[in-house]
Amino acid sequence: MATIKEIARACNVSVATVSNILNHKPGASDETRKMVMKKIKEMNYTPNTVARNLKTKNSRSIGVIVEDMTIFSIPDIVDGITEHCEEKNYQILLINLRLFKKYNDTYYNRDDYYGMVQDEIWKLIAKQVEGIIYVAAHERTIRCIPEDLPIPAVMAYGYTKSEKVPSVVVNDEDGAFQITKHIIDQGHRRIGVITGKNDSPHAQERLVGYQRALYESGILYNPSVICTGDWTRISGYRCTDLLLKQQVTAIFCMNDLMAGGVYDRLEELSLKPGEDVSVAGYDNRELSGYYKPPLSTITLPLHDIGYEASEVILEMLSGENREAVRPIYRVNCYPLLRRSVRDIRE
């Protein structure tokens, strides 16, 4: 394999000139640049990026640790990180912990895997990454990133509760406000809710958004039309009868899977979603477009969360406006309105 010195000798130019051309620096004429690039191709020269990174301490790489690539939310977040890194000429080094495959969702409320995370962080640091982005599968408080790392770190889709490690999360309150306001605007006043698990930040913030929409529309909050689910289709099914007994005209489900359970039970009762009872979901899972009728829902800004997490980490690396870096960044959702919410206004 040719060396940079051999390339310089073959072109009768200095090593510095070849180095500048390889690093896209100005100074060489177009003629010299073309000659050097042609010779590099002829002699099959490959830059030693490892040695260069060790010398400059600038690898232009970001370590990305994900909890499990099989969880629906994670690929879009990683895609957002990748897109922004490509725009800024950074590469990513991806680590898949496979936590959901190993433990299902039981690890959400545990911390015994933190040591595994920290081992992977130090492996990435040894590979000269300039920053770390940790991508969670489900929003919750996660304190797995040490605050004394020698490089900056950001968490996507989770809360660190740290001033030093920013969190980039969904603005769930605003998303729930938007979908509830749409239901209200269609004339509904008695709107049932099927929540997620009570300890979930998603469920807590979405309930606040629902309550805010009621308040701003002059509708009293009624706890009797709130049914606790657990994010599964069967919990939506089980809550349906309880809410129908409360004479609700619409049901807001805090995810699309539970909305599917509502559709299942309504069909058994010979009731039609979107006609006899309006139904709305949250998350915009792919399956929601195949419900009959297609489900009105809220699209999670997963790609945008990844993109913003990458923006934040590169801003921290630049050192500019360091005081402007915030502990929490909330990314807004947007509604996808279909035919499952009926207009009942006279």
Is residue 322 predicted with pLDDT exceeding 70? no
* Kind plus residue range of the DSSP H or E element containing 21: helix 15-22
pTM recorded for the entire structure? 0.79
Q: What is the mean pLDDT of residues 218-245?
A: 97
More confident residue, 319 or 259: 259
pLDDT score for 28: 85
Taking Cα atoms as reference points, which of 215, 283, 295, 205 lies closest to residue 250? 295
Backbone conformation region of residue 12, classed left if phi is above 0, alpha if psi is from -120 to 50, else beta:
left
pLDDT, tens digit (0-9, with 9 covering 90-100), for 118-159: 999 999 999 999 999 999 998 999 999 998 899 999 999 999
Q: State yes or no: cis peptide before 293, omega within 30 of 0.
A: yes
| Angle, vertex CA 278, rays to CA 276 and CA 283, nearest 5 | 150
Is residue 274 predicted with pLDDT exceeding 90? yes
Q: Backbone phi, then psi, for 294, in 5-degree steps?
A: -55, 145
Percent of the residues in the chain that have a pLDDT greater than 70, as a whole number: 95
Q: What share of the chain is helix, strand, coil (3-state, %, to 5)?
A: 45, 15, 40
| Angle, vertex CA 141, rays to CA 254 and CA 154, nearest 5 | 105
Strand, helix or coil for residue 51: helix
Sheet holding 250-253, edge to edge: 226-228, 191-195, 250-253, 278-280
Q: What is the mean pLDDT of residues 301-305?
A: 96
More confident residue, 298 or 14: 298
169 pLDDT band (50/70/90 cuts)? very high
Buried b (16+ CB within 10 A) or exposed e, 92-121: bbbbbbebbeeeeeebbeeeebeeebeebb
49 pLDDT band (50/70/90 cuts)? low
Tokens representing 345?
């206004």
Pairing assessment for the beta strands 328-331 and 167-170 based on DSSP bridges: parallel
pLDDT score for 252: 98
Is residue 230 predicted with pLDDT exceeding 90? yes
Tokens representing 154?
């950001």
- How much is the mean pLDDT over the chain? 92
Q: Check if the beta carbon of residue 123 is closer than 8 Å to that of residue 64.
A: no
89 pLDDT band (50/70/90 cuts)? very high
Pairing assessment for the beta strands 334-336 and 297-299 based on DSSP bridges: antiparallel
pLDDT score for 208: 98
Is residue 209 predicted with pLDDT exceeding 90? yes
pLDDT score for 178: 97
H helices of 23-108, in order, are 30-42, 49-56, 73-87, 99-103
Is residue 196 predicted with pLDDT exceeding 90? yes
